[in-house]
Amino acid sequence: MPLTTIVGALWGDEGKGKVVDAINEEADVIVKANGGGNAGTTYVIGDKKVILHLLPSGVLRGKRSLLAQGMVARPDQLCKEIEEFDNLNLGIDPRLHMTLHYHLALDYAREKAADLKAKGDNKTSGGAIGTTLSGIGPTYEQQKSRAGIRFFELCGDEAKLRQKVKANYEYVQGIIRQLGLEMVMPDRKIIEGKYVIEDVPLSLEQCEELAVESGKKLKRYMADVADEVLTAYKEGKKIVFQGAQGTLLDIGFGNYPKVTSSEVRAPAVYTAVGIPAFPMKVVGIVKAYPTKVGSGPVVTCLDCQKWPVDESFSDPVAKIIRERGQEKGATTGRARRVGWPDMVILKYSNNLNGFTDLALTRFDLLSDINPIKVCVAYMIDGKVTDKYPAWDLDALTRAKPLYAEIPCFGDITGIRNYDDLPSGAKQFVELMEKSTGAPVSIISVGPERSQTIFRNFKAF
Ligand code: IMP
């Protein structure tokens, strides 16, 4: 099969970078189809760490790299990432919607207003989603309301672009004023290890200049991605769709409203790219333990469900995992909540994606935890179930995890063959396979590229 999709099986941050890079070695074309500046994928190339938010990982290998219609992108962020590379082989679909700074201002204002309302209601946590403040929701919202600015307009007639930016800026300003807030952008910083956000005023002139100038720089990358992918497919080229975020953040099937604003599931790539539903391989990336940034229930959470995480209150196992795994957002720097492995959500995720393979990442991080608890079912209101009610956040908050226990399996970082894994580690893998019906064909046992076990894995 010349098509392979790589998709986060849980709430994102599964360590897709390592798997994506390994598969890319064999690929001709790499396409991103959803999300935008909210994603951040970390790649370790030799002793260098590279974090990409928008560009597909193909740019690291000089391969044809495409941004499809289903993505959204901030033009200044695109320009900045592009500057890091010489001779980029990049194509951007004219239909892709642009995130402009007023989208970030609106995202920020809404989150702030939700927090303020929660404080007024004397609640410790409120309606805030805990977004990455990257303007994702407002950009997709404007796409649906048909007021958005596509890549095509960004690179088109300057006077028309200015007019549209002005109309959108004023529209957003009106909403923000209604919330009793100012038109400011969030500037995220880590100061003395703490995540802080500072307000930066945002003018119409700034937004206009940014749009016009970046449009001029980016115009040369315009390409009909839908047509190009179809042609590449017909020519038998190997194509990778590099997913962003994770299945439980899907706008329709995730934990709505605590979700992102794009379709994250593997089958959504067909509509996001604009190609027929040809057969494809679906590699689900599943971290050995789930993590989540942002609010919303995590049934097996080790951090008292609290968001933002209060690290001084955290469970010792969560602390160890977070520290070892450096579980902080690549985009925001916020600490991620950590949970015990959960087969109920993985099964749900498999039902939505149809994994042909699972790639288990960060398995070595669990090696000395004893016992490892693996959730196999939930008890909700006195009933045992292995079905995941993703749509009912109250039921998920009441759900009690039922665990199987797996004994500590010791250091596995030097193992390269599945048969050489200790029995506890194999038990874990087999439980995952039994719960989903999908083979675990990639197991990552350390950060290096060589620290990977492949079990009859074929990338295409
Ligand atoms: P947004 O996508 O910035 O609107 O954020 C919506 C929700 O998705 C929040 O809970 C975010 O923390 C989460 N989210 C967005 N992008 C990522 C990602 O790349 N990894 C993990 N969580 C993400």
Pocket of ligand 1 (CB under 6 A): 11-13, 38-39, 129-132, 134, 136-137, 244-245, 249, 258, 260-261, 293-294
Nearest atom (ligand 1) to Cα of 39? 19
Q: What is the mean pLDDT of the segment spanning 275-303?
A: 94
Confidence (pLDDT) at 125: 52
Q: What is the mean pLDDT of the segment spanning 421-445?
A: 97
- For ligand 1, the distance from its centroid to the CA atom of residue 427, given in whole angstroms, is 32
Confidence (pLDDT) at 123: 57
Rg (alpha carbons) of the chain, rounded to whole number: 22
- Of 116-130, 270-284, 436-450, give the lowest mean pLDDT range: 116-130
Q: What is the mean pLDDT of the segment spanning 32-58?
A: 86
Confidence (pLDDT) at 421: 97
Confidence (pLDDT) at 21: 85
- Of 218-222, 299-303, 388-392, give the lowest mean pLDDT range: 299-303
Tokens 């805990």 sit at which residue? 130
- For ligand 1, the distance from its centroid to the CA atom of residue 42, given in whole angstroms, is 16
- HSE on the CB side for 231, CA within 13 Å? 6
**What amino acid is encoded at 227 in this protein?**
D
Domains and CATH numbers, the chain: 3-93+224-454 (3.90.170.10), 97-220 (1.10.300.10)
- For ligand 1, the distance from its centroid to the CA atom of residue 113, given in whole angstroms, is 18
What tens digit of pLDDT does each residue of 231-240 get?
Answer: 999 999 999 9
Confidence (pLDDT) at 87: 85
Confidence (pLDDT) at 17: 86
Nearest atom (ligand 1) to Cα of 244? 19
Minimal CA–CA distance to 53: which of 42, 40, 43? 40
- For ligand 1, the distance from its centroid to the CA atom of residue 180, given in whole angstroms, is 25
- Measured by CA distance, the residue closest to atom 23 of ligand 1 is 245
Confidence (pLDDT) at 333: 73
- 306 Rama sector, left if φ>0, alpha if ψ -120 to 50, beta otherwise: beta
- For ligand 1, the distance from its centroid to the CA atom of residue 231, given in whole angstroms, is 33
Confidence (pLDDT) at 191: 79
Is residue 286 within 8 A of residue 432, CB to CB? The reply is yes
Q: What is the mean pLDDT of the segment spanning 205-219?
A: 97
Confidence (pLDDT) at 274: 98
Confidence (pLDDT) at 419: 97
Query: To the nearest whole number, what is the mean pLDDT of the chain?
Result: 93
How far apart CA 372 and CA 453 sit, in angstroms, is 21
- For ligand 1, the distance from its centroid to the CA atom of residue 433, given in whole angstroms, is 27
Confidence (pLDDT) at 279: 96
Residue 7 has pLDDT above 60, yes or no: yes
The residues facing 232 across adjacent strands are none
Q: Kindly state the helix (H) or strand (E) to which residue 2 belongs, with its residue range.
A: none
3-state secondary structure of 371: coil
Task: Select from 195, 245, 250 the residue to mutate for testing ligand 1; criterion: most ligand atoms less than 8 Å from CB.
Answer: 245
**Which one-letter DSSP state was computed for residue 336?**
P
122 band by pLDDT with thresholds 50, 70 and 90: low
Task: Select from 53, 255, 293 the residue to mutate for testing ligand 1; criterion: most ligand atoms less than 8 Å from CB.
Answer: 293
What tens digit of pLDDT does each residue of 251-273 get?
Answer: 999 999 999 999 999 999 999 99
Q: What is the mean pLDDT of the segment spanning 317-340?
A: 85
3-state secondary structure of 301: strand
Residue 386 has pLDDT above 90, yes or no: yes
Q: What whole-number percentage of the chain has pLDDT above 90?
A: 78
Confidence (pLDDT) at 331: 66
Confidence (pLDDT) at 454: 96
Is residue 9 within 8 A of residue 207, CB to CB? The reply is no
Confidence (pLDDT) at 121: 65
Most distant CA atoms of the chain, gap in Å = 67
What tens digit of pLDDT does each residue of 131-177 get?
Answer: 999 999 999 999 999 999 999 999 999 999 999 999 999 999 999 99
- For ligand 1, the distance from its centroid to the CA atom of residue 419, given in whole angstroms, is 37
Confidence (pLDDT) at 315: 84
Residue 118 has pLDDT above 90, yes or no: no
Q: How far is CA 437 from CA 64, 109, 376, 394, 429, in A?
A: 34, 44, 14, 29, 12
**What amino acid is encoded at 368 in this protein?**
D
Q: What is the mean pLDDT of the segment spanning 82-94?
A: 93
Minimal CA–CA distance to 246: which of 286, 196, 275? 286
